[in-house]
A and B are shown apart, each in its own frame.
Chain A
Amino acid sequence: MGKLRLLVVDDEPGIRSGVLRILENFSVSYPFMDEDFDFDVVEAPTGEDAIDLLTKHDFDIVLLDNKLPGIQGIEVLEYINNKQLDVVVVMITSYASLDLAVKATRKGAYDFVPKPFTPKELRATIETITKQLFLRRMTQKLNVEGRQIRFQFLSVLSHELKAPLNAIEGYLKMMQEKKLGEYIADYMEIIDRSLFRVQGMRNLILDMLDFTRIESGKKSRNIESIMLCEIAQQCIDSFQPLSIQKGIDIYLNCGAKLPIKADRKEIEIVLNNLISNAIKYNKEGGRVDLSLGIEGNHAVIRVDDTGIGMKAEDVDKLFEDFVRIKTEETKNISGSGLGLSIVKKILDMYEARIMVESTPGQGSSFIVYFPLDNQ
């Protein structure tokens, strides 16, 4: 039997003892939980007492009345958020205070119990919360493991290399066993898929080389004065074949020559990645605008595309190693998931910032602010 610690914060003794009584012999069980949970109830008559208890002890659930004699419930909620305590907060409130409900939800309250509540209502709420708490902790546990895994770069890399190898091997075996019959024409689709996976693997290896360059490159970096506009033009030229194939026009807007001090190869990697993404994730007949300029003491590199765009929550993940945004639209676009993480690593070395603006279905903009002082 697992125990969950519950703190009830209410200035009415009747409510506190009611909660105590209702949860005394109550336990929650689910088929997928290893154990049942019951509850240890601790009482606090004021917000100040609650904060004091929360500082000293761990709790899982807080039942929180908003109207308290001293500080208000919502302030206790703020305290819990600021300290990032791993508790689920339920506000005890009357139906009338819709305002508070909205405010508290924004601040992270999980649920509400109307006051006065029946034993059944309270138990139902606690049951839901227990389940939610269990799932949250389970996910957290996995995320911690996930993060540790991420650091083990080589291992992830081997996963990424093994997947296409397995796929190609599988298709070759199908051909060997003549699974689709005697005619080579019937194998075209799996041959195309194999070539697609080969291409993906080649991209990954190329990106890996860039990666190694950054990791080991610290001694071999060659910082010199380079002309940003010139490099940008060369990058665009090198993408001509790809952009013609996809019917995408690339425009370079560059006022001055824009000299910066940097390693040429590194800047090429940054520009190549941004431009190739803007083409790859564009729509047929779309456009890419590469604009270079100066804002204050920063050189600004801006790449706008008219592509598929992405959701805000995907933007946050974009710069992590091996992250690819998986949607129906990106499914058949080959990419290693390393490009933008390489870009980020390079920009970090220059203390440059990169910002992303994106609207699904309309396009994305990547904006780099490259500091010109210390140059």
Chain B
Amino acid sequence: MLKKEKKTILIVDDDSDYLFQMKSAIQDMGFEVIQAETQKEAESIIERTRPDLAILDLMMESHDTGFILCHKIKNKYPEVPIIIASAVTAETGMIFDVNTQEDQDWIKADLFLDKGIRLDQLHKEINKLLKL
């Protein structure tokens, strides 16, 4: 029987602890993980590798890092699904998120998630996007 190829997930986040934990969690789900801590690192990875899915932090070096990376990935690999994860949500009455339809159309991520999402839920969402 052919062994099924593992899907590769790119995680970009400037919080090295979050990155470490996500990597471990997502590897446990049975995926390969490549990680980047800066926009530059992520860009150089995208140059040479096509991930099967990307999870990006919204705010890194600057407020728009997540958006810019999202655009660049979609530009190069339009079919690769992108999840944007953000830490601040509506609970503070504050919009770090991409809530309006207009913004969502414009930013083109496939999914916006709160960073506090439970891992089993995240797993489900990833499977859905990868059509597994």
Contact = CB atoms under 8 A, between A and B. Distances in A.
Interface of A: 30-32, 34, 138-139, 142-143, 145-146, 149, 152, 154-156, 158-159, 162-163, 166-167, 170-171, 174, 179, 193, 197, 326, 331
A142 B67 CA distance: 9
A32 B14 CA distance: 25
Contacts of A31: 74-75, 78
Interface string B74-111: 11001000000001100111111000000001101000
Interface stretch (B17-25, B43-51, B123-131): B17-25
Contact of B17 (A143, A152, A167): A167
B24 A155 contact: no
B117 to A, nearest CB: 11
A128 B105 CA distance: 24
Given A142-B63, A152-B94, A158-B88, A163 B75 contact: no
A284 to B, nearest CB: 22
Nearest to B71: A32
Contacts of B63: 142-143, 145-146, 149
B64 A143 contact: yes
Nearest to A146: B63
Given A32-B75, A34-B106, A143-B64, A162 B87 contact: yes
Contacts of B17: 167, 170-171, 193, 197
A166 B116 contact: yes
A187 to B, nearest CB: 13
Interface string B45-73: 00000000000000101111001100100
Given A145-B63, A158-B94, 19 more contacts: A30-B75, A31-B75, A31-B78, A34-B105, A34-B106, A139-B64, A143-B64, A146-B62, A154-B94, A163-B18, A166-B18, A166-B115, A166-B116, A171-B21, A174-B21, A174-B24, A193-B17, A193-B20, A197-B17
Given A31-B75, A166-B115, A159 B18 contact: no
Overall SS of chain A's interface: helix
Contacts of A163: 15, 18, 87
B24 A179 contact: yes
Given A32-B75, A155-B96, A170-B17, A162 B64 contact: no
Nearest to A155: B94
Given A159-B88, A179-B24, A331 B16 contact: yes
A30 B14 CA distance: 30
A143 to B, nearest CB: 7
A159 B74 contact: no
Most chain-B Cβ atoms within 10 A of its Cβ — which of A152, A159, A193?
Answer: A159
Contacts of A159: 59, 87-88, 96
A326 B14 contact: yes
Nearest to B63: A146
B65 to A, nearest CB: 10
Contacts of B71: 32, 138
Most chain-A Cβ atoms within 10 A of its Cβ — which of B14, B67, B88, B96?
Answer: B88
6 contacts: A31-B74, A31-B78, A142-B64, A159-B88, A174-B21, A193-B17
Contacts of A152: 92, 94
A32 B74 contact: yes
B92 A158 contact: yes
A166 B15 CA distance: 10
A255 B105 CA distance: 64
B46 to A, nearest CB: 14
Nearest to A179: B24
Contacts of B87: 159, 162-163, 166
A155 B92 contact: yes
Most chain-A Cβ atoms within 10 A of its Cβ — which of B17, B78, B105?
Answer: B17
Contacts of B61: 326
A208 B116 CA distance: 24
Contacts of A162: 87-88, 115-116
A273 B88 CA distance: 28
Contacts of B20: 193
Contacts of A138: 71
Nearest to B88: A159
Nearest to B93: A155
Contacts of B38: 326
A64 to B, nearest CB: 30
Contacts of B105: 34
